[in-house]
Amino acid sequence: MTDRKTRPNVLFIVLDDVGFSDLGCYGSEIPTPHIDRIAAEGLLYNNFHVTAMCSPTRACLLTGRNAHSVGVGIIAEWANGEPGYDGRIYPSAGTLPEVLRLSGYNTMAVGKWHLAGTEEYGASGPFNNWPLGKGFNRWYGFHGALADQYYPELYVDNHPIHLNPPEGYHLTEDLVDRSIAMIRDHHTSAPDRPFMLYLALGACHWPHQAPARFIDAFKGRYDHGWDEVRRDRLARQIERGIVPPDTELAPRNDDVAAWDDVQKDDAVVRLSTRLQEAYAGFMTHTDQHIGRLLDYLERLELLDDTIVVLLSDNGASPEGGATGAINLRKHMVYELDEPARALAHIDKIGGPDAYNHYPTGWAQVSNTPLKWYKKDTHGGGVRAPLLVRWPKGIAADGVGAKGMRGQFHHVIDVAPTIYELLGIDPPGTLAGIEQQPLHGVSMAYSFAAAEAPTTRETQYFELLGDRAVWHQGWKAVTRHTKGTPTESDRWELYHLDADFSEARDLAAEQPERLDSLTRLWLREAERYSVLPLDDREWERAAERIRDQARDRYDYFPDMARIDRLMAPDVTGRSFAIEATFEKTAPALNGVILAWGSGFGGLVLYAQDGEFVVEYVFSQDERVRVAIKDDARTGRGRILACFDRTGDGGLDLTLSGDGLGTARGTSLKAWPTHGMTAGLSCGRDAGHPVSTAYKAPFAITGGELIRASLTIVSETARDRRGALTAFSED
């Protein structure tokens, strides 16, 4: 077993959708003193790169290999099963925790995983692509791209759990609590063994949710708009040496309006500034709890013996669109969340009854001084913060002083760096499977050599048809338009060593260099399993989702929660919910079946002598249908039928044995598969679908025997809508 006296602990902290300039130490006006401490006592990298989306970056980080080569060229939800795009890490790409565990480390994961196929999220697995199947001894966290910070769908090790969050709960606080508990238990039972903790926070991915006091601290801070905030951030970056003094702001992105024009619409101004206040509050709240973890390690006298690595998985997200949204689920999938209408809910922003995300103007601010966003292979998508702290390996002064490092590096270089620092050679075979070589190189040389040239020569990038290649300080990049031939894409050329923000396109001036780089990209793509290119998003999953479908789903009280992306796909279909129960009292009370949340979903429940169906298209559009119960005890049955209409809507009929019938007509049908929350039987396990009860509202007055959901028929299906759920990257 490895002795902690000879090998340090390892702590990875992965932020989500945090742009290059969002941290205080990278020039932000958002105070992040605890994260800044890592920079002040360690190293800040300004030329560090990731992939443009979360699953691929996480695969690179944990394996030290390029994303396509390990099967994760795209997020897990959009995997199509083709080489390079399988949505899960190949066994030939052993992970850092697998190797460290063989070397005596206790390996623990907390937070977001997003490296397993959606069909694997159930209580029966398979579990080989869950954290415990990829080298971790413990896991507490969530699958998928995102989580509601107040009502997350969580797992412990290989088990989904019913959280029933108490008043005041917040996921970030919970994840840090669990991290501290795991470290405490480890240190109690094996103080001489080192540990690896992988803390992958849901922050700051949308929904941007944080306690009100954190958001209110920024009230009025952004009233002067995104153009001025962006200029201010660049000025601080130049002043602090984070970017070169001649760095220009990249031109305003095409989908961002000038703030002077935005100011003409008061509703847009009020909404967009409050949405940015929520993001800033989310960031400071996250920082506070990262500080709590660092303080705990210091209290145990472990902090200085721990290699701390903090990074973001990609650039800031543009998914809020031009105006942002209070209910992004509705805004992205159903219909635009018009600012004038959204203002009625402005006081809910950041709280449990909002699913908010900021406009693209603030996303570009997050990526200052770079262009474009997450999903793009320009700087705004792939240049990310990276901080490293390890006092025993980073000198305090003189040559190798703490401070900034400007060498080009990529997220595939992190694992090789850890291996070098720990003196571990990754095995050639793992569990009998021959391993791919590492694609990354160690960054450890840069710890003691601030001005040393980078040891990297080349790095390719690809995502959804966007391509780029960096080679010896030059970058060729193209922004692909979905549905168009890649041959028609226009390549741009930048000398990054002299043009930090990709502001000066040299393609017309140096066509030969550009041609050489595009040919280099093709060679790298062939080498690392990038081809063939595929610019589809949710459409990639069509065949896989169809293969998972059943005609009938049986649910039982107190069963494990069904993840939102494993729930039945009823898009374009008629369906029915039938429940059988045994009453032991005159009135049955409680939730029979709950699916989704108050942002969109449906619930069948009994309350105050009625059986009720509430169908929630969005927070503002709800339909309630009820029939009277009677006082009879014994076996009973209730049936809710949702019938597709010719105009694409739904008619709802609720009936019961001897209880009559009630109807609701012309319901708006969900144009998508997958709600903001999953499905529970005998209780409402998450954000309550209805405001008529307090979750979990478990069954009393009898026993729920079974609830069945049957797909009654399938009409001509709108596969576009059915798969839009998988745009939740």
For the chain, how many structural domains are there in total? 3
pLDDT digits (tens, 9 = 90+) for 228-253: 999 999 999 999 999 999 999 999 99
Name the active-site residue from 25, 49, 54, 170: 54
User: Which of 362, 361, 360, 381 has the alpha carbon at shortest distance from 370?
Assistant: 381
Residue 36: inside a domain: yes
Q: Determine the Cα–Cα distance for residues 389 and 305; give it in Å rounded to an integer.
A: 10
* Same domain, residue pair 584 and 710: yes
The pLDDT value recorded for residue 727 is 42
Q: Which of 527, 553, 568 is where one domain is finished?
A: 527
The pLDDT value recorded for residue 619 is 86
* Backbone phi, psi, residue 644, to 5°: -65, 140
CATH number of the domain that residue 205 is part of:
3.40.720.10
Q: Determine the Cα–Cα distance for residues 10 and 198; give it in Å rounded to an integer.
A: 8
* Same domain, residue pair 484 and 601: no
Contact 339, 41 (CB under 8 A): no
Per residue, the 3-state secondary structure of 327-353, as one string, reads EHHHHHHHCCCCHHHHHHHHHHCCCCC
The pLDDT value recorded for residue 569 is 86
Q: Determine the Cα–Cα distance for residues 546 and 568; give it in Å rounded to an integer.
A: 11
The pLDDT value recorded for residue 1 is 58
Domain that holds residue 710: 541-727
The pLDDT value recorded for residue 313 is 99
Q: Determine the Cα–Cα distance for residues 75 and 59; give it in Å rounded to an integer.
A: 10
Name the active-site residue from 34, 49, 68, 114: 114
Residue 385: inside a domain: yes
Q: Determine the Cα–Cα distance for residues 408 and 401; give it in Å rounded to an integer.
A: 19
- Decide the pairing of beta strands 634-644 and 650-656: antiparallel
The pLDDT value recorded for residue 399 is 36
The pLDDT value recorded for residue 6 is 80
* Same domain, residue pair 423 and 519: no
Q: Which of 403, 427, 447 is where one domain is finished?
A: 447
The pLDDT value recorded for residue 3 is 62
pLDDT digits (tens, 9 = 90+) for 198-212: 999 999 999 999 999
The pLDDT value recorded for residue 341 is 86
Contact 38, 303 (CB under 8 A): no
* Same domain, residue pair 573 and 514: no
Residue 511: inside a domain: yes
Residue 708: inside a domain: yes
Residue 668: inside a domain: yes
* Same domain, residue pair 549 and 673: yes
Q: Determine the Cα–Cα distance for residues 565 and 553; give it in Å rounded to an integer.
A: 15
All residue ranges of the chain with pLDDT < 70 are: 1-5, 334, 396-402, 541-548, 672, 674, 713-729
CATH number of the domain that residue 621 is part of:
2.60.120.560
Residue 535: inside a domain: no
Our answer to whether residue 439 is catalytic in this structure is no
**What is the three-class DSSP state of 135?**
coil
Helices (H), 194-249: 212-216, 226-239
The pLDDT value recorded for residue 487 is 93
* Same domain, residue pair 401 and 469: no
The pLDDT value recorded for residue 2 is 64
Q: Which of 389, 416, 447 is where one domain is finished?
A: 447
DSSP per-residue string spanning 401-449: -SEEE---EEGGGHHHHHHHHHT-PPPSEETTEEPPPP-----GGGGS-
* Same domain, residue pair 588 and 511: no
266-to-223, 342, 348 alpha-carbon distances in Å:
11, 13, 19
Residue 171: inside a domain: yes
Rg, C-alpha atoms of the chain: 26
Residue 452: inside a domain: no
pLDDT digits (tens, 9 = 90+) for 120-173: 999 999 999 999 999 999 999 999 999 999 999 999 999 999 998 999 999 999
Helices (H), 505-627: 511-527, 542-548
pTM of the model: 0.96
* Same domain, residue pair 297 and 342: yes
CATH number of the domain that residue 508 is part of:
3.30.1120.10
* Same domain, residue pair 485 and 439: no
* Same domain, residue pair 482 and 572: no
* Same domain, residue pair 19 and 61: yes
The pLDDT value recorded for residue 546 is 62
Our answer to whether residue 25 is catalytic in this structure is no
* Same domain, residue pair 220 and 80: yes
